[in-house]
Structure 1
Amino acid sequence: MIGTLADGPIDVHAHWLPPELFDLPPGAPYGPLHDRDGELHLGDVPLSIPARAMSDVPAILDDMAAAGIGVRVLSAPPFAFPVAGPAAPYVDAFNDALARVVSGSGGALAGLGLVSLDAAGTATEQLRRLAAVPGIAGVAVPPVLAGASLDRGVLRHVLGVAAAEGLSVLVHPMQLPRPEWRDHYLANLVGNPVETATAVAALLLGGVVEQLPDLRICFVHGGGCAPGLLGRWDHGWRTRADVRRDSSRPPGESVRSLWFDTVTHDPALLGLLTAKAGKQAVVCGSDHPFDMAQRDPVGFAEAAGLDAATLAANARAFLGVPA
């Protein structure tokens, strides 16, 4: 439930995790996090991130001021998603801590909570609780889970409850490992965009946007590969019955009901996204505090022809906040 937000540009894609939850959910494939002399490590892998940038609210507010951000929407880093089994206590602890942080921010911070991904009933209860928490706009979820995406299983259930409860959904990739991506950071550079495009395709071709017209959902990193693939998806939809089996509109039409952030690292790709999805679909994102973050998100977006007022209005629409 989002009330009054501070004025200025809104960054919908930024991460926060308190130190007491650095152990990560049970069975987390990469964890736990460690603060080693002020630097974050995921297991034994250095993240090149100061620990305070992830968990210290004054440091986050300082970064916002330096970047010209008026409001930052905080969500858990993707390695804190509970993808390995029951994790309700961890999820509840994160949501409670997030609620405390945003409530004391004077409208400068908002939050997207976590939800259990092992049981639909537990997820429903958590989502209904989040809907009543001041400053919490919705939830962040992974794009794929246990061999499925947003059109089936627990993820599809979460989308249905979120739409019914008026909660926004942010979809963030998990950087899942594959043998062919083990070098050169390809699990991120290639894997993240592919995960996100898979989820966009599942949502559009699976007919989910038609089934849930009230769903407010945003894909980070500019939708990954999706903007460049929409033409291919449309061609497949028109020529193959199995592609259009679950949807009544081609993806190139349905995509205009989604939101995407600006973290594309390429003005030309941001221009393609805007052309395909519409200017109303683009919201400002930073991916703070990761190494792949857009350090000047407002300047980057404006250089690509997107004005700050439009971006802020789009973010408020995604978050369900009246202009």
Structure 2
Amino acid sequence: MTVVDVHAHVFPSISRAESRILHAEDGPWLREDDAGAGMMMSGSAEYRPVAAALWDPQVRLNEMDRQGVDIQVVSSTPLMFGYAADPGRAAEWCELVNDRILKMCATAPDRLVPLCQVPLQDTELACEEVSRAMANGHAGVHIGNHVGDRGLDDGRIREFLTHCAHENAAVFVHPWDMLARERMPRYMLPWLVGMAAETQLTILGLILSGAFEQLPTSLRLCFAHGGGSFPYLLGRADNAWHRRDLVREDSPKPPSAYLDRFHLDSAVFDPGAFRLLTDVMGPERIMLGTDYPFPLGEQEHGALVRQSHLTPAERDLVLGKNALRFFGIEGLATA
């Protein structure tokens, strides 16, 4: 059984000077300290302490071996997106980041599968970069769930998603720049509350706007963190669609009719929540995700799935088979 983790972040070695490609003052870069420690930086400000697994592929591979993970699908840390920057600078930045991630993954191409990032604030540049990255060996693209006040249902972003479908690029969607941060100043509440709300907002936005009626059915979308609050509140959304024409004015079918248009990862951390997730989506639409290597991620990789109510065959789907198919990497499966 090949175990594939689809939600694993990297921050490749990028210097302060290189960060100025994106922004002269507060571009993101990596300060590598002693003994495998480091700091994610935003200009001269310290953003978050990190360890070498975030940028050192050999440390990562050793940890994967310890955790029993065969393959990681790796994506940049959302701090690196650069959506607020000038589009031209963001395009140059994304090219640097993507090439650096590709170099990391080249250390073990049978185990580290790269996703690119794009300057999503500019549709043409984003399409150009995802095409370039896919030609160079990336398996798909990692995007934030919104650009400013534009969600994935925005017409220009839908154009980009359509282009991804035509390029056969899988799309992994991660929440970021969380709403109402001013009301959540403490206790990491933007991560605990805001991320879940952002993902639900994005999924329902795609459904209720009618975007899924226009996007190609070949588009492969996966949302992080078990879909946030979406699975738990799907019944509320369905009830609203049936009872209020304001809810259903642009969506010809209730929200539950669109569950076959996307996947979710398994990062929910609780057996009851995981049971609900599988009840709502079905095990064929869920992939192992750990949020590695950050402290809020799953510390014993795949334990929630392995110890769950699923049958052995269903566990195999979630632990690896779904991901091998979703990212088109069946050739990397172990015997």
| Residue of structure 2 equivalent to 1:286 | 290
Q: After the TM superposition, which residues 152-301 of structure 1 pair with which residues of structure 2 at under 5 Å, given as runs?
A: 152-176=154-178, 178-211=181-214, 212-301=216-305
Kindly state the Cα deviation for residue 305 of structure 1 after the two structures are TM-superposed. 3.0
In angstroms, what is the RMSD of aligned CA positions? 2.2
Cα separation, 2, equivalents of 1:228 and 1:27: 43
Residue 139 of structure 2 aligns to a residue in which SS? strand
Report which stretch shifted further, 147-156 or 157-166. 147-156
Any conservation in 1 of the 2:123–2:156 contact (CA below 8 Å)? yes
Report which stretch shifted further, 103-112 or 214-223. 103-112
- State which of 283, 289, 313 in structure 1 corresponds to 2:321: 313
- State which of 14, 25, 28 in structure 2 corresponds to 1:20: 14
Q: Deviations over 1:168-199 (max 9, x none)?
A: 00011114361111111111111111111111
Distance 1:144 1:21, change over 3 A: farther
- Structure 1 residue runs without a partner (length 5+): 1-6
Report which stretch shifted further, 207-216 or 26-35. 26-35
Report which stretch shifted further, 138-147 or 37-46. 37-46
Kindly state the Cα deviation for residue 270 of structure 1 after the two structures are TM-superposed. 1.2
Residue 292 of structure 1 aligns to a residue in which SS? coil
| Residue of structure 2 equivalent to 1:9 | 3
Distance 1:28 1:15, change over 3 A: farther
Residue 136 of structure 2 aligns to a residue in which SS? coil
Distance 1:29 1:301, change over 3 A: farther
Cα separation, 1, equivalents of 2:254 and 2:68: 38
Cα separation, 1, equivalents of 2:235 and 2:25: 37
What percentage of residue pairs aligned between the two structures are identical? Answer: 30
Residue 110 of structure 1 aligns to a residue in which SS? strand
Letter in 2 for 1:301: V
Distance 1:123 1:27, change over 3 A: farther
Report which stretch shifted further, 242-251 or 19-28. 19-28
Kindly state the Cα deviation for residue 19 of structure 1 after the two structures are TM-superposed. 1.5
| Residue of structure 2 equivalent to 1:145 | 147
| Residue of structure 2 equivalent to 1:76 | 76
Distance 1:257 1:297, change over 3 A: farther
Q: Deviations over 1:133-167 (max 9, x none)?
A: 23x11101111221121100443222111111111
Letter in 2 for 1:290: F
Alignment of 1:35 onto 2:32: yes
Any conservation in 1 of the 2:197–2:229 contact (CA below 8 Å)? yes
Letter in 2 for 1:143: N
Kindly state the Cα deviation for residue 30 of structure 1 after the two structures are TM-superposed. 8.3
| Residue of structure 2 equivalent to 1:130 | 133
Cα separation, 1, equivalents of 2:27 and 2:298: 24
| Residue of structure 2 equivalent to 1:100 | 103
Report which stretch shifted further, 119-128 or 22-31. 22-31
Distance 1:32 1:108, change over 3 A: closer
Distance 1:153 1:31, change over 3 A: farther
Cα separation, 1, equivalents of 2:191 and 2:26: 15
Number of residues of Structure 1 aligned to a counterpart in Structure 2: 315
Cα separation, 1, equivalents of 2:47 and 2:128: 36
Cα separation, 2, equivalents of 1:28 and 1:318: 39
Residue 190 of structure 1 aligns to a residue in which SS? helix
Letter in 1 for 2:38: E
Kindly state the Cα deviation for residue 48 of structure 1 after the two structures are TM-superposed. 4.3
Any conservation in 2 of the 1:223–1:261 contact (CA below 8 Å)? yes
| Residue of structure 2 equivalent to 1:3 | none
Report which stretch shifted further, 94-103 or 143-152. 94-103
Any conservation in 2 of the 1:227–1:273 contact (CA below 8 Å)? yes
Residue 96 of structure 1 aligns to a residue in which SS? helix
Any conservation in 1 of the 2:267–2:290 contact (CA below 8 Å)? yes
Any conservation in 2 of the 1:117–1:154 contact (CA below 8 Å)? no
Report the structure number with the largest CA radius of gyration.
Answer: 2
Any conservation in 2 of the 1:204–1:255 contact (CA below 8 Å)? no
Kindly state the Cα deviation for residue 11 of structure 1 after the two structures are TM-superposed. 0.4
Cα separation, 2, equivalents of 1:305 and 1:175: 35
Letter in 2 for 1:138: G
